[in-house]
């Protein structure tokens, strides 16, 4: 049985080890929120016809996380499932594409890559009002803190090796062979991404301009490293988007494929490795941590391990890939800032993220400057 990351059990009292306030707010389930109700009779009828072995009665709870695509725990007397759907109401074309999430996980599952098994996809909006899919629920451990504080010191390198290995495994999958050759646009990944996020940043005048971002908008498109590569990329692979085995450094499932596409593998790997420079109060980060004392591999060692797994001698212009990822994340947070200012992103979490935008922009520029200095 597979558990969603938002549903991991913590200690009986107090906050879970390694869990930030934001992470705690996204953990566990609650009663289905107003506006997100499901037609239980229609869902049970669909499950009986499409999920092997399903037998009710059915109980439905909503995960506190999964704000982009509402996510539910389906519980029966014998097993549990996870349902993920598009949000109700009008949405942008191509957004919240749960069909893509189901497709990529189903394809990767055939290769032995660690993903939850997909039990069924429903694109008939008459059933629940929006498309949805049902997947296995994977039991294991989620680490919200990149220092892995509740792992024995001697075992920490093995957990980093497991993360590193999952990325190398993903980037080695032949997209054509698993039916994902049309999952994204091959080639010119950085140029397209830089143009997209630059346009979004420049268009949001209410959120304001930032000198670091302005410098990056100019510098990034002129300094894209040579060499085209295309792989299946996750787009958001952090330690808290993985479920580890309960008692060993092995990844059981990679979650949250909403940003996946065909892209450059070094962009995907650098996003994960960005944890070494990421302040822990923004997302799971290692900035300021005593890596030697914690027995955590250094950034250089982590990069070298990925190179060894993927047959690379090195990664020239490494700081470009870091700069690109901080820029991309800063652009996302800049958009959040704009929505907070306009009053359509009023949550405390959104407001807090908006304050982190200049920090991310500065970190992106620092990586840019490191790249310039060689």
Query: Can you tell me the distance from the alpha carbon of 81 to that of 88, in angstroms, rounded to the nearest whole number?
Result: 21
Output the tens digit of pLDDT for each of the chain's 374 residues: 344 443 333 322 223 334 444 455 456 777 887 778 889 999 999 999 999 989 888 999 998 754 467 889 999 999 999 999 987 765 545 556 789 999 999 999 999 999 999 999 999 999 998 899 999 999 899 999 999 999 999 999 999 999 999 999 999 999 999 999 999 988 899 999 999 999 999 999 889 999 999 999 999 999 999 988 999 999 999 999 999 999 999 999 999 998 899 999 999 999 999 999 999 999 899 999 999 999 999 999 999 999 999 999 999 999 999 999 999 999 999 988 988 888 876 566 888 888 999 999 999 999 999 999 97
358 close to 331: Cβ distance less than 8 angstroms: no
CB atoms within 10 A of CB 137: 21
Three-class secondary structure of residue 122 per DSSP: strand
**By the 8 A CB rule, do 245 and 252 touch?**
yes
SS3 at position 351 = helix
Determine the Cα–Cα distance for residues 94 and 362; give it in Å rounded to an integer: 31
Q: Which residues pair with 121 in a beta bridge?
A: 133
* Three-class SS state of 19: coil
Domains of the chain: 5-136 (3.30.200.20), 153-372 (3.90.1200.10)
Could you give the CA distance from residue 350 to residue 149 in angstroms, rounded to a whole number? Answer: 27
The CA radius of gyration of the chain, in Å to the nearest whole number, is 21
288's torsion region: left (phi>0), alpha (psi -120 to 50) or beta? left
Confirm if 3 and 25 have CB atoms less than 8 A apart. no
pTM of the predicted model over 0.85: yes
Instruction: Provide DSSP, 60-107.
Output: EEEES--SSS-EEEEE-SS-EEEEEEPPSS---TT-S-HHHHHHHHHH
Q: Where are the beta strands (DSSP E) in the chain?
A: 29-30, 59-63, 71-75, 80-85, 118-122, 132-136, 231-233, 242-244, 251-254, 261-263
């Amino acid at each position: 049985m597979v558990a969603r990351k938002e549903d991991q059990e913590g200690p009986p009292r107090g906050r879970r080890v390694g869990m930030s306030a934001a992470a705690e707010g996204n953990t566990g389930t609650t009663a289905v929120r107003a506006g997100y109700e499901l037609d239980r009779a229609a869902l049970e009828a669909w499950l009986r016809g499409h999920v092997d072995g399903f037998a009710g009665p059915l109980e439905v709870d909503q995960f506190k996380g999964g704000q982009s695509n509402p996510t539910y725990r389906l519980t029966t007397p014998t097993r549990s499932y996870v349902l993920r759907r598009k949000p109700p109401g009008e949405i942008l074309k191509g957004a919240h594409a749960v069909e893509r999430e189901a497709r990529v996980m189903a394809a990767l599952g055939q290769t032995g890559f660690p993903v939850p098994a997909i039990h069924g996809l429903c694109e008939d909006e008459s059933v629940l009002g929006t498309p949805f899919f049902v997947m296995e629920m994977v039991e294991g451990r989620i680490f919200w803190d990149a220092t892995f504080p509740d792992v024995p010191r001697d075992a920490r390198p093995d957990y980093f090796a497991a993360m590193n290995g999952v990325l190398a495994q993903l980037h080695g999958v032949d997209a054509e062979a698993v039916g994902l050759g049309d999952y994204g646009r091959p080639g010119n990944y950085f140029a397209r991404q830089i143009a997209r996020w630059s346009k979004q940043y420049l268009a949001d005048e209410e959120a304001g301009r930032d000198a670091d971002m302005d410098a990056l908008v100019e510098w990034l498109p002129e300094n894209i490293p040579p060499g085209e590569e295309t792989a299946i990329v996750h787009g958001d692979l952090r330690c808290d988007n993985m479920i580890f085995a309960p008692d060993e450094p092995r990844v059981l499932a990679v979650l949250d494929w909403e940003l996946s596409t065909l892209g450059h593998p070094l962009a995907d790997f650098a996003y994960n490795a960005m944890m070494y420079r990421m302040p822990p109060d923004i997302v799971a980060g290692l900035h300021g941590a005593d890596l030697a004392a914690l027995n955590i591999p250094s950034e250089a060692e982590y990069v070298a391990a990925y190179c060894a797994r993927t047959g690379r001698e090195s990664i020239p212009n490494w700081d470009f890939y870091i700069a690109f990822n901080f820029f991309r994340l800063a652009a996302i947070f800049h958009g959040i800032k704009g929505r907070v200012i306009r009053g359509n992103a009023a949550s405390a979490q959104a407001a807090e993220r908006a304050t982190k935008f200049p920090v991310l922009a500065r970190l992106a520029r620092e990586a840019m400057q490191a790249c310039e200095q060689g």
